[in-house]
Amino acid sequence: MYAISIENDNLVWAETDDPELEIGQVRIRVHATALNRADLVQREGGYPPPPGASPILGLECAGEIMEVGEGVSSFQVGDAVCALLAGGGYAEQVVVPAGQVLPVPSGLSLAEAASLPEVFATAYLNLYMEAGLQRTERVLVHAAASGVGTAAIQMCVATNNPVFVTAGSDEKVEQCIALGADAGWNRKAGSFLEAVTRWGEVDVALDPVGANYLADNLACMAVDGRLALIGLLGGAQTDINLGALLMKRVRLIGSTLRARSVGYKSRVMEGLRENVWPEIEAGNIKPVVHAVLPIAQAGQAHALMAADENFGKIVLSVG
């Protein structure tokens, strides 16, 4: 098969070995994959794949089942599916545990379906499983124009949770509000704290920024609030006001998805199937795709993401 390899920091479409199918896995012919910020960090050498995972970039894909491994009864050859991967998506084929695979929601193209697994799994895991979000609780979503952010906004709307967003431009804030956010703040205009405080106290915050936002996050949290930290775009080291954490009984939750067990990821995907896929099929939640580029232009796609120009997902078509 062909896959993207990293050669002198260039992304090259080159021939490589087919992955081996193991017990409990399926082989997918990849029709589309999608970018995640983790791909850029891995390319730079800062985010190696978990032990045993493919070194090829790509944390999600959509395509059709080519082969079913021993012990798999949930899928058949020819099924249209999308999958959450630990790696390997920038390729013509990928093998993945069957529990991390879901049928393509009816009405979606494979390019649209490829934009779903990683970001919807991340948002669902952290909002509903880790932070225990309840209906009507108020949510703060940072980097809301990202794939995770646009997924989180729509899921919160579906579960009747008011949302305040931060994003990198007035235009992106407006786009988030069009998706269902109640209000927002352009992060380039300074601290979001005063604007969020006027809007109301926050029960759950979803934050991929980290150090730069921690103090303001804690200041705007409600009593018994939960702060889900899912990235470190704004740094890893900062002072923390333990008094605010203590007196408000705020729970600070550090969370990653890629290195979790197959069993845990399967539970996340089952949650998506039960609670989110019906909303997608009903048209209440929609994939947000900024652009679709051919896999040979993976380098240009990375440059587009690095420039922070996208709203939603960047998809790569394969074949």
Instruction: Give me the residues paired with residue 163 across strands.
Output: 139
| pLDDT number for residue 241 | 87
| pLDDT number for residue 41 | 95
pLDDT tens sequence for the chain (319 residues)? 999 999 998 999 999 999 999 999 999 999 999 999 999 999 999 999 999 999 999 999 999 999 999 999 999 999 999 999 999 999 999 999 999 999 999 999 999 999 999 999 999 999 999 999 999 999 999 999 999 999 999 999 999 999 999 999 999 999 999 999 999 999 999 999 999 999 999 999 999 999 999 999 999 999 999 999 999 999 999 998 899 899 999 999 999 999 999 999 999 999 999 999 999 999 999 999 999 999 999 999 999 999 999 999 999 999 7
Task: Judge whether 152 and 164 are in contact, CB under 8 Å.
Answer: no
| pLDDT number for residue 291 | 98
Long-range contacts: 279-286, Cβ < 8 Å, 24+?
Answer: 279/154, 279/155, 279/158, 280/105, 280/108, 280/116, 281/105, 281/106, 281/107, 283/107, 284/154, 284/157, 284/158, 285/151, 285/154, 285/155, 285/158, 286/154
Integer Rg of the chain from CA: 19
| pLDDT number for residue 244 | 87
| pLDDT number for residue 188 | 96
pTM over 0.95: yes
| pLDDT number for residue 89 | 98
* Domains of the chain, start order: 2-116+281-317 (3.90.180.10), 120-254 (3.40.50.720)
| pLDDT number for residue 319 | 78
